[in-house]
Amino acid sequence: MDYDFSEDVAKIWPALLFIGGFVAVVGGLLFVLDILPRWGKGKERLHMFGFLGPALILLAIGLVYPLIRTVTLSFYNNTRGKFVGLDNYTWIVTNDDTLIMLRNTLFWVVCVPLLATAFGLIYAVLVDKARGEGIAKSLIFMPMAISLVGATIIWKFIYAFREADQEQIGLLNQILVWLGMEPQQFLTSSPSNTFYMIVMMIWIQAGFAMVILSAAIKAIPAEIVEAARLDGASPWQMFWRVTMPSIRPAVVVVTITITIATLKVFDIVRTSTNGNFKSSVLAFEMYNQAFRLSDDPNGEGRGAALAVVLFLLVVPVVVYQARQLRKRAEIR
């Protein structure tokens, strides 16, 4: 092994330097705050600046200012450019490619939350109180821990394609061959490629749904379950009359959380097709316009407009979720 680590080790020093500096500054800050006047109205203002100030400054630079800037930028063609009014937005809804992109986004947002929640729910109910429940749940939940890039590579291997006269190395094409069909290029034909990518997202998100719904199922009061069983309820009745009504709020929260994650899906599309073969989605197109096509004079403005559209789509969903959560807190 002749790998030379010295260059890599050199990269760690700046990191250690910054962490050290950070610790020194924060430690010094806490020390100074300690010798300042103590508690009491008015006197706590200095402490407020000390504790809250750094975070607020970072939030102002890193989120609040960019937010405002992106909104204004969406009415310009680029960061140095001229005011173009609503041109960027009309481009989104009139251009053929962006319309396909919006359609794909719709496919994603409809399919992923529904199917991921459904699979998660079914699995959570089936393995509840079963032997080996912990391991069974870990298996489904594992995809949630790995990167979306890694997950996409896993699935690209499943979809791998070889000409019909060669031996298949992708499982799905091999199954097609076993069934006597022609092998296919799953990720290159639109619109079906979107659905093959949607499968990846369902595979990842079902674990999330399962863990949360499983916790909700376990929180159903034992008396209710017992009473239903004494009345002779079948498992089917049990599910629809006892389990479902009890966990409905959790189902809503899970569906919404997955919807938001799906609206922002980027890694899967970028790693699977790089947005080619008419497979782009909103969050990918935003990146594509703003950063990849940087020689396009309209790129940044259009990217900003796409970000604003994404924001506007996320907001009502989050507001709905916040209200659901509050409702649930009130019931408790």
Partner 1 sequence: MSNISLEKGKDDNAPEAGPRYKSGEVPANTMAGRVRRKLTSRTASVVSIIIAILWTIPTFGLFVSSLRPENDIKTTGWWKFFTNPSLTLDNYNEVVFGTSATSGRLASYFVNSLTITVPAVVFSVTLAAMAAYALSWLNFRGRDWIFIGVFTLQIVPLQMALIPLLQILGDYTEWGGGFFAVWFAHTCFGLPLGVFLLHNFMSELPKDLFEAARVDGAGPAMTFRRIVLPLITPALASLTIFQFLWIWNDLLVALVFTSGPDTRPLTVRLAELAGTRGNDWQRLTSGAFVSMVIPIIVFLSLQRYFVRGLLAGGVKG
> Site residues for partner 1, window 73-112 (CB under 8 A)?
73, 79
Closest approach of partner 1 to the CB of residue 192, in Å: 19
SS (H, E, C) 200-229: HHHHHHHHHHHHHHHHHHHCCCHHHHHHHH
* CB contact at 8 A, 133 and 127: yes
Per CB under 8 A, does 118 bind partner 1? Answer: no
Question: Which residues are CB-neighbours of 199 under 8 A, at least 6 positions away?
Answer: 155
Site string for partner 1, 243-282 (x = CB under 8 A): --------------x--xx-xx-xx--xx--x--------
**Mask: binding to partner 1, 168-197, rule CB under 8 A, as x and -?**
xxxx--x-----------------------
User: Which pair of tokens denotes residue 86?
Assistant: 């609503």
Q: How far is the CB of 153 from partner 1 (least distance, A)?
A: 4
Calpha distance 83→81 (Å, rounded): 7
**Of residues 126-165, those binding partner 1 (CB under 8 A):** 126-132, 136, 138-150, 152-158, 160
Residue nearer to partner 1 on the CB measure, 100 or 242: 242
CB 271 within 8 A of CB 244: no
What separation in angstroms does the CA of 263 have from each of 83, 178, 201, 213, 214?
28, 36, 11, 22, 25
Spatial CB neighbours of 119, under 8 Å, sequence gap ≥ 6: 202, 206, 209, 210
For residues 258-287, b (16+ Cβ closer than 10 Å) or e, as one string? bbebbbbbbbbbbbbbebebbbbbbbbbbb
All residues at 6 or more sequence positions from 259 whose CB lies less than 8 Å from its CB, including other chains: 109, 112, 113, 317
Residue length, the chain?
332
Least separation in angstroms between residue 295's CB and partner 1 is 16
Query: Least distance (Å) from partner 1 to the CB of residue 309?
Result: 10
> Which of 88, 101, 283, 298 is the binder for partner 1 (CB under 8 A)?
283
Closest to partner 1 by CB, 85 or 316: 316
- One-letter amino acid of 86: L
Closest approach of partner 1 to the CB of residue 221, in Å: 14
Of the ranges 61-69, 89-97, 103-111, 189-197, which one interacts with partner 1 (CB under 8 A)? Answer: 61-69
Binding-site member from 86, 90, 106, 226 for partner 1 (CB under 8 A)? 226
Measured distance CA(36)–CA(29) in Å, rounded: 11
Q: Which of 223, 232, 295, 331 binds partner 1 (CB under 8 A)?
A: 232
How many angstroms separate the CA atoms of 316 and 320, rounded?
A: 6
Smallest distance, Å, CB 190 to partner 1?
18
Piece of 88-96, 101-109, 190-198, 202-210 that binds partner 1 (CB under 8 A): 202-210
Per CB under 8 A, the segment of 89-97, 110-118, 188-196, 284-292 that binds partner 1 is 284-292
Size, binding site for partner 1 by CB under 8 A: 131
Cβ-based nearer residue to partner 1, 85 or 232:
232
